[in-house]
Amino acid sequence: MCNAPEAAIKWTLNNIPKSEDRQLQYMSLEEMKKASDFHKSFPQYDVTPLTRLSDLAEYLGLKRLYVKDESYRFGLNAFKVLGGSYAIARQIAKELGRDVSHVPYSVLTSKELRDQFGQATFFTATDGNHGRGVAWAANKLGQKCVVRMPKGTTQTRLQNIAKEHATVTIENMNYDDCVRLAAKEAAETNRGIMVQDTAWEGYEEIPTWIMQGYGTLAMEADKQLSADGSRPTHIFIQAGVGSLAGAVIGYFANRFKENPPVMVVVEAGAADCLYRSAMQADGSRVNVTGDMLTIMAGLACGEANTVSWDILRNHADAFVSCPDWVSANGTRIYGAPIGADKRVISGESGSVTLGLVHALMTNPEYKDLKEALKLDGNSQVLLVSSEGDTDPDRYREIAWEGLCGTGKKPFGDL
């Protein structure tokens, strides 16, 4: 599973021609607040922690280092439920001719609304966390759910979804082909609705709603930073199809229009479609095909969300492609804090950004990128740990057994 531990980090600054930037408006503070207000109506809602890692920041030579810990989100150990729940609510509200602000959790789960709306089947494809979030939301709202997962998916991730009474299978195909399968099945099913966080031509409304749902964590982090007397100078955000990255970067581009933070998109090297698109630098999207083998299961997506791509090409400062050892290092660093720092349990898709920041600040090989991003003792860095140990066996392989080495030399020589 793990690629060569000596594999290098690849990066490029954003030299893509700007578009008309039409998608940024959908990540406005007003739209994000609407999503946030919806999530606050859930009895399971609570603001997830923004953990300040002061001793690690000092060790790395940064002014401040913060991580938004999404392992606490709705008891599901990952952020994805924010998007799936909001998109389902928007779809139900649309079909009933209402604004989403008029269908909070108490209304969505009421007998009256179920009598009005009836029952639909929500289809999705997932590497784990998104499907679990959609299945959880559909289950809470009395709706049906069908989930398709790519080959290589662990039984733990499948069982987490099955527990939400969804129909779920692991298919002999990669993630992007699972998306196509689920979309086909939704189209052929009476009242079948595709709820996917990737977008393509002709399918952009629901993915936009999902991205707006993710904005809840960005808005929370912004308020938490302000309460601590900070504003981010740098944001490192991971990307699979790019929906989370587009939401977070879109939010902060709107929040600090005149002086935005330096914002960096971070991908798994085996599925770095955004990095490859940025390298091509003509505005078009480059897809990654094949099995996309990486420990970062949640980032193993080879086709970019069209809505997010338009935001990223206009507002991201750099795109970085990371081998698996970067993520593994991040998981271990979070799990073994120094000084008085709090421990963060971060899964392999949640930890890659910390692994990257650590590499930039400690490895002279990446001095050029560090300097290009102006990372120094004045930097206030915001990260998002997008998942906890959603696959406990894999987490232990990384944290206990040293899966994927260190990136400095082959694991067997340590």
Active site residue 222: no
Sequence-ordered list of residues with C-beta below 8 angstroms from that of 160, at least 6 positions apart, any chain: 128, 132, 390
How far lies 309's CA from each of 175, 185, 251, 295, 313, in Å? Answer: 18, 26, 14, 24, 6
How deeply is 6 buried, as exposed, middle or buried, from its count of CB atoms within 10 A (0-12, 13-18, 19+)? middle
How far lies 9's CA from each of 271, 272, 354, 407, 412, in Å? Answer: 13, 11, 13, 9, 21
Query: Are 147 and 134 spatial neighbours (Cβ–Cβ below 8 Å)?
Result: yes
Determine which one of 34, 68, 69, 80 is catalytic.
80
Give me the helices (H) in 316-403, please: 324-335, 352-362, 367-372, 392-399
Provide the β-strand partners of residue 263.
235
Side-chain-facing half-sphere of 310: CA atoms under 13 Å: 17
Determine which one of 34, 68, 69, 127 is catalytic.
127
Q: Give the integer Cα–Cα distance in Å for 45 and 332.
A: 29
Active site residue 33: no
Hey, which residues are catalytic here? 80, 127
